A and B are shown apart, each in its own frame.
Chain A
Amino acid sequence: MGADKVDGKASGRAGGSFNNKSIETAATGAQRRPRPAARTLKSQAMAWRMLRASLTRRRARVVIALLAVAIGATALSALAAIAIDIPRQMAREMRAYGANLLILPEPGRQTVPASTTAQIDGLVGDGDLLGRAPYRYQTVRINSQPYLAAGTDLAAVRQVSPYWQVEGEWPSRDGQLLVGADIAAWIGLAPGDGVELEMGDSKQRFTASGVLSTGGGEDSLIVMGLEDLGQLAGESGQYDLIEYSVAVSGGDVEALADRVNATVSGVSAAGVKRLTESDAYVLGLLKSLLGLIAVIVLALTMIGVSTTMMAVVAERRAEIALRKALGASNRSVEREFLGEALALGALGGALGAALGHLCAELISRNVFHRHIGVTWWLPLVAVVASTAVAWAASLIPVRRAAEVDPAIVLREE
């Protein structure tokens, strides 16, 4: 402390005796204050420093407060991720079963003749026909091992089943096919590799343009064009089934099936209930259930966080009283503690968003056998919401704590 400084700032002791300077400065304390801008900057730096110290040097307490926030944020963001993802997952399933009219051979017959399609198309009507995918199944051998091969209209399948994941390329010309992921792994096949299919006496080389994975039965299937399979089998014009996707629903599909059965000989038509119709209700129920759980979790989080904040504040009563004794206003005490609450809320929210994503991923993998969809704004919402919850939950405990009588500092002995 240099002598010049003492002279400029001292109130009670500049120079040893009761000289004029000391009295003057003591009476007008405001004169000692520096310009506001500089003061604000340095004060902010100190506020940050105190916040950092409180967060990093009170680890055990901070961890508990963080957990109180993070547990709620985890549960809520997992719920939200799943609630957002369920319709998306369902939509994929729905497209997988996009066909709502199934044409099978009449009892006693082996196959559906290709010639019937024109007739059925006519009954459906041009306007209502969304897609038609015929399937023919044959057992083929690769290296003397039997596998099931499906011949179909690849362009139609690609439209009806957009969820099919193909590593490599979709077949674009004759002689190319898709190999299911399980088979590819089993025989060590990569996209672009050649593969020889055998059936009876005939043999033919194909190129596996892509490896197909759906997480379902298709993974152990070889999928190729109808013509290619027909050539290998030495037959054509026969299907095992035809899937129609028509733009009618409910009872109208049944009526259409009846008409097909009455008019077209050799086939047996049946309406297939689309997943949408049967599950729209369940889906709605599930979503309101998730919403209810979310509200409960939110309430529990509020209670947990405010209890924690109350405990934190109660524990620091003496500190608050001391700060007030040193000249802190109620408002600055509130600001400091709410600042801590905001920081805890943001950190807890970030932690919860990460953990929540992990939980949702775990659930999605077990229930849907797929990765959870990533919703980019969800972590942002989690952080903002947790911060808001921590703030709201701290408001009352902090207000009350700021009322502490500073006289207790001297009393507590």
Chain B
Amino acid sequence: MPAEDEEKGEPMTDLLELQNVSKTYGGLHALASLSLTVPRGQWLSVVGPSGSGKTTLMNIVGCLDRASSGRVVLDGVELGGLRSRDLTEIRRNTVGLIFQKFHLIPHLTAVENVMTAQYYHSMVDEAEALAALERVGLRQRAAHLPSQLSGGEQQRVCIARALINYPALILADEPTGNLDADNEEIVLEIFRGLHAEGTTLIVVTHDPTVAAQGQREIALDHGRLVKEVFHGR
């Protein structure tokens, strides 16, 4: 831990901390008293059968939803009891989202989709958005509409959009679920780069190879943590 941290009176914390977090829908426990700590810079894989609560977890960590009970601390901020406006603010500044279904705005070009994230975050900078596309290998496709891009290319635009604001945490829910092996490898390569730079990654996946890329892998079932593996990397 660098000495400067102590000087600033800002001790090194974990990026994410969940204590006994539950989410209930009616009588259903989508998450049941889940506790989890994610240090900064970790690449965490989340696996589990369908309906085990993976997306619910992502929504809560991504400030898109609230826990029914328990304590969630993200980047030093306790999320419980925050107004939705404040949740939006934290999501905007701290989280980058990547979806299985890409979710690009169909009438905006690749670069405009990336700029949208800048627009809601802070300042629009087209050159920087183009640089982000360059990074995912899509500089040449910047002016294309999503419908003119392949699935793999759309996912890369989605990634460029997620990382444009330099989020501390990237949340990816089944990012390779709709991709072929080649595109999966491209996406994983980008994740490796992000990880090398120190970005915290939480990646939900069904795919064991994808899961094995993380430093740590947890398995959920019925909203509980049932298994935890550290991959030696």
Contact = CB atoms under 8 A, between A and B. Distances in A.
A associates with B: yes
Nearest to A324: B88
A12 to B, nearest CB: 4
B2 A24 contact: no
Interface in B91-113: 91-94, 97, 99-101, 103, 105-109, 112
A58 interface: yes
Contact of A50 (B88, B116, B125): B116
A155 to B, nearest CB: 69
Interface string B1-41: 11011001010100000000000000000000000000111
Interface string A386-413: 0000000000000000000111011111
A363 interface: no
B68 interface: no
Nearest to B107: A57
Given A1-B132, A24-B10, A326-B120, A413 B100 contact: yes
B8 A29 contact: no
Interface string A37-49: 0110011011101
A325 B58 CA distance: 12
A389 B229 CA distance: 61
Contacts of A411: 55, 59
Nearest to A333: B120
Given A1-B132, A17-B41, A26 B75 contact: yes
B212 to A, nearest CB: 22
Interface stretch (A102-110, A274-282, A315-323, A342-350): A315-323
B198 A410 contact: no
B121 A327 contact: yes
A49 B117 CA distance: 14
Interface in A12-29: 12-20, 22-24, 26-27, 29
Given A50-B116, A58-B107, A12 B59 contact: no
Nearest to B135: A1
A412 B132 CA distance: 27
Contacts of A312: none
A16 B196 contact: yes
Contacts of B45: none
Interface residues of A, number: 56
A328 interface: yes
Nearest to A319: B105
B91 A327 contact: yes
B125 A42 contact: yes
B233 interface: no
A15 B198 contact: yes
Given A1-B131, A34-B123, A49-B112, A407 B59 contact: yes
B88 A20 contact: no
A374 interface: no
Interface residues of B, number: 65
A32 interface: yes
Chain B CB within 10 Å, residue with most, of A13, A27, A45? A13
A173 interface: no
Contact of A16 (B1, B117, B145, B198): B198
B168 A11 contact: yes
A13 B197 CA distance: 4
Contacts of A43: 119, 123-124
A9 interface: yes
Interface string A110-125: 0000000000000000
Contacts of B93: 29, 327
A29 B74 CA distance: 14
29 contacts: A5-B128, A6-B166, A10-B197, A12-B169, A12-B199, A13-B166, A14-B198, A16-B197, A16-B198, A17-B41, A18-B1, A22-B40, A23-B5, A33-B123, A42-B125, A50-B112, A57-B145, A322-B105, A325-B91, A326-B116, A326-B117, A327-B91, A327-B93, A327-B117, A329-B85, A407-B59, A409-B97, A409-B99, A411-B55
Minimum-distance CB pairs A-B, first 8: A327-B92, A13-B197, A13-B198, A29-B93, A12-B168, A57-B107, A327-B120, A12-B199
Interface of B: 1-2, 4-5, 8, 10, 12, 39-41, 55, 58-59, 62, 64-65, 75-76, 85, 88-89, 91-94, 97, 99-101, 103, 105-109, 112, 115-125, 128, 131-132, 134-135, 145, 161, 166-169, 173, 194, 196-200
Given A22-B40, A46-B119, 6 more contacts: A12-B41, A13-B198, A328-B88, A406-B64, A407-B59, A413-B100
